[in-house]
Amino acid sequence: MNKLDEILEQLSKQQPVLDDADALCDSIMDNLPPQPQQKPRRNLWLNLVSGISAAAALLLLVLTVGQSQDFVPVSNDIDYSQALAAFQPNYDELSNANSLESALRQVSEKKLARTTISQLKKQYAL
Amino acid sequence: MDIISNQVIERCQNGDKSAFRIVVQTYQRMVFALSLRLLCDEEEAKDVVQETMIRVWLNIGKYNPKQSLRTWIYTIATRLALDRLKQREWTEPMPEEEEYFSQYIAEEETDRQLENRELIAIIRTLVNKLSPKQRLVFTLVHFENLSTAEVTQITDLDADKIKSNLYVARKTLREQLKRLGYE
């Protein structure tokens, strides 16, 4: 064993002396601040369920809105020309349309406002 | 192995000061020994004990009982002591401290219990040239007798860095011994 290891071995056996341990302990205990309040942990399961519910509600909302805009029940018996004429007499071209698709195409070609398209759809709806 | 039971820790986590007194009584000597060997100053070592125990009290709610309480307390104490070491301007050992060292080396009965001031003088003379990090690793391994795994947990240094710090520390100590005429 070399000199360094010899010294280190001897020193590792030396324990520093804390002669006033009780006083130090009392001083620590007297100076303890109040513990911070622990935030109550939210249940993981509860978080998961509320997340899924929120996502499902959002999806449902999107589907409902989309469907209400797209769903246009069309009657085969309807006289499209008459309907168009009654709805928008100023658009003479549209009164020649013989189907909803044709009327919509014409509206689109003429770059009419979107509100007009919705109104047209309403007009053809049963 | 921890001496403190999980039941005592749980009581501490619920704010029971009488349970925390048990923790302080159990670990204050350990923290004092580590801090004294690192800082070589008795009053500062006591300050570190106080600061460490207050931090333990404030953070015991976050303590995970799967981890060793001893290692957790060592980690807190080590960080506080290392901060102080880094802030401090380290002075050369006094001639009388080198004298203590020479006497200790020359003693035939080296098992006698040294007084704190003797121990401080000897350690200061020996580790004077080490950087704070080298001192920390060296102290944890050679004076606190901790395993590499424990030192890794406490210092956040990987095994290779611990090895290299120890290598440089030992080399520096040998040079210091040579300078003092002992190797």
Tell me, letter by letter, the H, E, C secondary structure of chain B: CCCCCHHHHHHHHCCCHHHHHHHHHHHHHHHHHHHHHHHCCHHHHHHHHHHHHHHHHHHHHHCCCCCCHHHHHHHHHHHHHHHHHHHCCCCCCCHHHHHHHHHHHHCCCCCCCCCHHHHHHHHHHHHCCCCHHHHHHHHHHHHCCCCHHHHHHHHCCCHHHHHHHHHHHHHHHHHHHHHHCCC
**Residue B63 contacts A where some CB pair is shorter than 8 Å:** no
- Out of A17, A18, A31, the one facing B54 most closely (by C-beta) is A31
Contact across the interface for A35 and B58, Cβ inside 8 Å: yes
Contact across the interface for A24 and B142, Cβ inside 8 Å: no
pLDDT band, very low/low/confident/very high, at B98 (cuts 50, 70, 90): confident
Highest mean pLDDT among A15-24, A59-68, A78-87, B91-100: A15-24
**Residue A24 contacts B where some CB pair is shorter than 8 Å:** yes
- Out of B25, B61, B119, the one facing A14 most closely (by C-beta) is B119
Mutate to test the interface with B, among A8, A9, A18 (most CBs of B within 10 A): A18
Q: Which residues of A touch B50 (CB under 8 A)?
A: 24, 27-28, 31
- Out of A3, A11, A27, the one facing B50 most closely (by C-beta) is A27
Instruction: Tell whether the model's pLDDT for residue B48 goes beyond 80.
Output: yes
pLDDT band, very low/low/confident/very high, at B181 (cuts 50, 70, 90): confident
pTM over 0.90: no
pLDDT band, very low/low/confident/very high, at A126 (cuts 50, 70, 90): very low
Contact across the interface for A24 and B116, Cβ inside 8 Å: no
Average pLDDT over residues B1-17: 87
